[in-house]
Amino acid sequence: MDTATGAAQAAPPPGRLVPPQRPVPDREDLATLKVVPARHYWRWVAGVAALVVVAQFSHGLVTNPGWDWDTFFLYLSADTVLKAVWVTLQLTVYGTALGFALGIVLAFMRLSRSVILQTVAWTYIWAFRSIPLIVQLLFWFNLAYLYKELGIGIPFGPVLWSFDTMNLVSALSAAVIGLALHQAAYAAEIVRGGIISVDAGQLEAAAALGIPRLRQLRRILLPQAMRSILPNAANEVISLFKGTSIVSVMAIGELFYQVQVIYGRNGRVVPLLMVATAWYILLTTLLTIAQYYVERHFARGAERTPPPTPLQRARTFTRRMRAAAATGGIQK
């Protein structure tokens, strides 16, 4: 039905022909009419064109001998590569754990009422965000050159314990320390952002209830802050995970370094870069999935009815398909 012409007919402008009214079909007629969906031919053309490009690209990946898939599969799960993946994972886990632990402390320092703590934390964050990670890592690597010995003792007083820096700071721990210190500066700001996003009334209510201070932070503040901390934190973990490849400058046998060593020997650069890529993609995917479930955990209470997980959604889908197969028709 055309309502626009109907409105126009209400007051036909003088000197214009009034178009003849079309017969309005009955309700029964409408119910029996067949609906023809709008056809979008150009959408189809564009879709097919895109598929052709993708097919060509995949064909190239599979058939171009330059990719050298045999070498790729040979090294994908080779012992040296697996060991290197393990080192990369260790760097990520320790870097994240130490970085965020220090970051949380720094965040609370910046939010504390003590001007001294605020200033110290602010300066730390300023410094470590200013120094490029690679420069910082090289500093740590050369620590022994700056300080021959590290000791524990009374400040400005006698030394009680001392270590030879050469032994203390192995290449791996130098890398972990470097990554963690760098990470802490960013983590501090992310954690602080999460904390200040929590409604001030929450802490006021906790204080009015006499809940002990530490408990207020752990039980009331942080779980709510986690909601805005998590997406950013996951970004940081993933970029730290890939950022560990920078550590290759310190000749540590992490994934990227190991791959370089191998193609230095056999000259198969491209397939070995693909090996590293595949591992980075796989592990990033796992991290992303973990992020989804952790976020969901901290979203409890945030929505009246939480949306189903992909797994739950898949289950409802298969149940519906099965029901459809049984009755011979798809139900909504």
Partner 1 sequence: MSTDSDPVTGTAAGTSAGSGLMVDVRGVHKNFGALEVLRGVDLQVRTGEVTVVLGPSGSGKSTLLRSINHLEKLNRGYISIDGELIGYRRVGSKLHELKEREVLKQRLHIGFVFQNFNLFPHLTVVENIIEAPVSALRRSRKAAVEQAGRLLERVGLADRADAYPRQLSGGQQQRVAIARALALEPKVLLFDEPTSALDPELVGEVLDVIKDLARTGTTMIVVTHEIGFAREVADTVVFMDDGVIVEQGPPAEVLDRPRHARTQAFLSKVL
Tokens in use for 182? 């760098």
User: Pattern 184-203, binding to partner 1, x per CB under 8 A?
Assistant: ---------------x-xx-
Provide the residue type at 315 as one letter: R
Q: Give the interface size with partner 1 as a residue count (CB under 8 A).
A: 24
- Is 220 one of the binding residues for partner 1 (CB under 8 A)? yes
The half-sphere exposure of 72 on its side-chain side, counting CA atoms within 13 A, is: 16
Count the neighbouring beta carbons within 10 Å of the beta carbon of residue 208: 9
Q: Is 38 left (phi over 0), alpha (psi -120 to 50) or beta?
A: beta
- Is 315 one of the binding residues for partner 1 (CB under 8 A)? no
Residue 302 class from Cβ within 10 Å (0-12 exposed, 13-18 middle, 19+ buried)?
Answer: exposed
- Is 93 one of the binding residues for partner 1 (CB under 8 A)? no
Tokens in use for 276? 């590293």
Nearest to 244 by CA among 271, 274, 276: 276
Interface residue with partner 1, options 96, 224, 228, 258 (CB under 8 A): 224
- Is 37 one of the binding residues for partner 1 (CB under 8 A)? no
The half-sphere exposure of 47 on its side-chain side, counting CA atoms within 13 A, is: 5
Interface residue with partner 1, options 34, 43, 300, 332 (CB under 8 A): 300
- Is 204 one of the binding residues for partner 1 (CB under 8 A)? yes
Q: Which residues contact residue 184 at a Cβ distance below 8 angstroms, ignoring those fewer than 6 apart?
A: 98, 99, 100, 102, 103, 106, 124, 128
Nearest CB to partner 1, comparing residues 26 and 303: 303
- Is 303 one of the binding residues for partner 1 (CB under 8 A)? yes
> Shortest gap between Cβ of 125 and partner 1 (angstroms)?
26
> Shortest gap between Cβ of 210 and partner 1 (angstroms)?
4
Interface residue with partner 1, options 59, 129, 213, 319 (CB under 8 A): 213
Nearest to 257 by CA among 132, 133, 88: 88
- Is 34 one of the binding residues for partner 1 (CB under 8 A)? no
Interface residue with partner 1, options 33, 36, 116, 208 (CB under 8 A): 208
Nearest CB to partner 1, comparing residues 229 and 283: 229
The answer to whether 237 and 184 are in contact (CB under 8 A) is no
Query: Which residues contribute to the site for partner 1 (CB under 8 A)?
Result: 199, 201-202, 204-213, 215, 219-220, 223-224, 298, 300-304
